[in-house]
Chains A and B, each alone.
Chain A
Amino acid sequence: MPTAIKVMVDAAPWLLQGAVMTLETSLLAIALGLPVGIALAVAQRARLRMLRGFVSVYISFARGTPLFIQIMLVFFVLPSLGFDIPRFCAGVIALSLNSGAYIAEMIRGGLTAIPKGQVEAARALSMPRSLMWRHIILPQVLALILPPLTVEFTGLLKGSALLAVIGIVELTRTGQQMVAATFKPLEIWLMVGIFYFVMCYALAALTRYLERTTQVYRAV
């Protein structure tokens, strides 16, 4: 069916714009999610019991409720608290708050790979905790979690499709608009799927490459 192919090819330039937006959104979300995750992971090891309790409730909530509901919550709660922010910001905030919890869990896993003697040595040298985190623990852990971080990024790329629901014009929202304009849902959604597939497949290849090249750090 040549008309179907024509529909798909005609839609491609618009969908490409949407894909760029999807990539930007996900990149921003992971860039913000990483510091959130680091903060959570450090707070999880804090001496304050309250802080540790807060972190475990936060992580349990972020991992125990659908991302879709979290996006809706952020989208509606922030304005009602008096923060009048554009929907794009609400979407990115929701994604990064969610991914922060997953990154914190990754870091927690990575921490177990750091030999205990390193922390003990830092303490024995009476190194302040902040220095220990910045110079000894985090550099090693971050190298260790680089491959799973790209997996998380792939997850964000797919998760960002949900932002279409709050009206952010990324790849999926562009798809919805194209369907409304052409009345060809099959062709358009196939094409949207192909765009996502190409991005995620490329990222999976990157993950495998990083897994190979960061093996040096794993040998410790």
Chain B
Amino acid sequence: MDFDFSVVAFGFPILLRGLVNTVLFCTISLPAGLVLGSAVALLRLSHRRVARLPAAVFVEIIRDTPFLVQAFLLFYGLPAFGVRLSAATAGVLVLSVHSGAYFAEAIRGAILSVPKGQLEAARALGMPYLHAMRRIVFPQMLGYLLPALTNQIIGAIKDSAVLSVITAPELSMAAQMVLGESFSPVETYAMVATIYWALIAAVSAGLMRLEKRLFRSDAAVPRPDTPRLALSALETTAS
């Protein structure tokens, strides 16, 4: 087997444009998934059955069916209701919903890792629920949340490769374009794999650094009596 480097010269710029789109898809879908996931996680922890049940059903349905089938259902199934989405929109939507369910499980686990008494004490002092969640529970669950979230974020980036099947114009779609022109699948997919590998390595290294920065002190989890410290650390990293 000879590795044809002219394919690299020809295909690499096209693949890089695909990479930009993949990054774009993820930068829209992941925050949307986080918002959805947080809402679903809170609903799953509600004491009202009416709130808990639909959230649990949603998570189970998403987690027990393949991403590809979800994408097909959304992209080809919605027109039956008169809703016609572009491949890109459908891709962003399905990636958001899919990652939302997985994020919800990670967030729920993180919330449960904080002793119940913390929230109860805050509520007893008259703090509104969401306020107590944000100021008391959230800073304490970060140590648990970040590693779990890192895994799910990487999973979502990998899932986004499947969106080429519904013709969303991301990196693996670009691969098919390069393939159609060059007829060199080995070179093309070797390049694509390398690009994904680099992207995911960069993302996980970045998230690991964030984690290290937040918990620079020897404590695995920020001390409960200094919840604002962790939050301010998060804010400085984000800006």
Q: Show the binding face of A for B, using Cβ within 8 Å.
A: 60-61, 64-70, 72-73, 76-77, 80-81, 154, 158-159, 161-162, 164-165, 172, 175, 179, 185-186, 189-190, 192-193, 196-197, 200-201, 204
The complex places the Cα of A185 from the Cα of B72 at a distance, in Å, of 8
Query: A77's contact among B80, B172, B186, B192, by CB below 8 Å, is which?
Result: B186
Q: Show the binding face of B for A, using Cβ within 8 Å.
A: 1, 60-61, 63-70, 72-73, 76-81, 154, 158-162, 164-165, 172, 175, 185-186, 189-190, 192-193, 196-197, 200-201, 204
Q: Is the interface of B mostly helix, strand, loop or mixed?
A: helix
Instruction: Collect the chain A residues with CB atoms within 8 Å of residue B67's CB.
Output: 158, 161
Known: A66-B158, A81-B1. A186 touches B76 (CB 8 A): yes
Smallest beta-carbon distance A162→chain B, Å: 6
The complex places the Cα of A80 from the Cα of B68 at a distance, in Å, of 28
The complex places the Cα of A80 from the Cα of B60 at a distance, in Å, of 41
Instruction: Collect the chain B residues with CB atoms within 8 Å of residue A200's CB.
Output: 63-65
Instruction: Collect the chain B residues with CB atoms within 8 Å of residue A164's CB.
Output: 68
Check A70–B65 contact: CB distance below 8 A: no
**Beta-carbon nearest neighbor of B68 in chain A:** A161
The complex places the Cα of A68 from the Cα of B189 at a distance, in Å, of 10
The complex places the Cα of A192 from the Cα of B76 at a distance, in Å, of 13
Instruction: Collect the chain A residues with CB atoms within 8 Å of residue B186's CB.
Output: 73, 76-77, 80
The complex places the Cα of A77 from the Cα of B3 at a distance, in Å, of 11
Known: A72-B189, A197-B61. A179 touches B172 (CB 8 A): no
Check A196–B73 contact: CB distance below 8 A: no
Check B65–A69 contact: CB distance below 8 A: no
The complex places the Cα of A68 from the Cα of B164 at a distance, in Å, of 10
Check A68–B172 contact: CB distance below 8 A: yes
Instruction: Collect the chain B residues with CB atoms within 8 Å of residue A70's CB.
Output: 193
Check B162–A189 contact: CB distance below 8 A: no
Smallest beta-carbon distance A63→chain B, Å: 8
Check B196–A186 contact: CB distance below 8 A: no
Instruction: Collect the chain B residues with CB atoms within 8 Å of residue A192's CB.
Output: 69, 72
The complex places the Cα of A64 from the Cα of B157 at a distance, in Å, of 10
Smallest beta-carbon distance A94→chain B, Å: 12
The complex places the Cα of A193 from the Cα of B160 at a distance, in Å, of 19
The complex places the Cα of A197 from the Cα of B59 at a distance, in Å, of 12
Known: A73-B189, A80-B186, A172-B66. A66 touches B76 (CB 8 A): no
The complex places the Cα of A119 from the Cα of B29 at a distance, in Å, of 47
- In the complex, besides A80-B1, A192-B69, 8 extra interface pairs with C-beta distance below 8 angstroms are A65-B193, A68-B161, A77-B189, A81-B1, A186-B80, A193-B70, A193-B73, A197-B60
The complex places the Cα of A188 from the Cα of B189 at a distance, in Å, of 31
- What are 21 A-B pairs with beta-carbon distances under 8 A? A64-B204, A65-B193, A66-B196, A68-B158, A69-B193, A70-B193, A73-B190, A73-B193, A159-B66, A161-B68, A164-B68, A172-B69, A175-B69, A185-B73, A185-B76, A189-B73, A189-B77, A192-B69, A193-B70, A200-B64, A204-B64
Query: A190's contact among B66, B73, B193, by CB below 8 Å, is which?
Result: B73
Check A201–B64 contact: CB distance below 8 A: yes
